């Protein structure tokens, strides 16, 4: 973690992150959009959320999507077997980053700590943006892109 990334992420989150992370997706200006968290916090507590969406604009857009019933809609739109497989891939990637020989508490669940279904569109979308094969992240992405094109179209016509 470099000092500038730490500062920018703290500003975006409104707090200092409690664990180690690295910026894995940046915006056009180089600012952090997605961070990848270490699976254990500095004090040894588990961190189930491997990927965290920190970019203000996308966080806001995903929040709007969630407030409009996006969690239920995404879960209803995605094949449950594909979603379960995504949780398994996420869990395996996160768990592979736990140091060998570690015998303390471990993070559990899949995307965002969820064992099944969809809990948080932000976590799914963050992983998708970082290259994860996530059907919910894809679902969110399609709606974010559509929403952005519609708002850009309205802005340019006004």
Provide the residue ranges of all domains of the chain, joining segments of one domain with +.
Answer: 3-140
Contacts made by residues 91-97, CB under 8 angstroms, sequence distance 24+: 93/50, 93/132, 94/39, 94/48, 94/50, 95/39, 97/38, 97/39, 97/50
Q: What is the mean pLDDT of residues 63-74?
A: 97
Which pTM value belongs to this model? 0.92
Res. 158: pLDDT tops 50: no
Q: What is the mean pLDDT of residues 82-89?
A: 97
Of residues 88 and 1, more confidence is placed in: 88
What's the confidence (pLDDT) of residue 150?
Answer: 76
């Amino acid at each position: 973690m470099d000092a500038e990334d730490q500062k920018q992420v703290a500003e975006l989150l409104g707090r200092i992150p409690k664990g180690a992370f690295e910026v894995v997706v940046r915006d056009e200006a180089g600012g952090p959009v997605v961070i990848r968290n270490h699976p254990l916090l500095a004090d040894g507590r588990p961190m189930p959320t491997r990927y965290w969406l920190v970019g203000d604009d996308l966080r806001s857009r995903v929040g709007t999507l969630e407030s409009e019933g996006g969690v239920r809609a995404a879960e209803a739109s995605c094949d449950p077997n594909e979603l379960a497989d995504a949780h398994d891939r996420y869990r395996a990637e996160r768990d592979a980053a736990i140091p060998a020989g570690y015998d303390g508490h471990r993070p559990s669940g899949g995307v965002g700590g969820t064992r099944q279904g969809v809990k948080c569109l932000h976590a799914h979308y963050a992983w998708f943006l970082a290259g994860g094969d996530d059907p919910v992240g894809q679902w969110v992405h399609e709606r974010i892109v559509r929403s952005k094109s519609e708002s850009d179209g309205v802005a340019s016509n006004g």
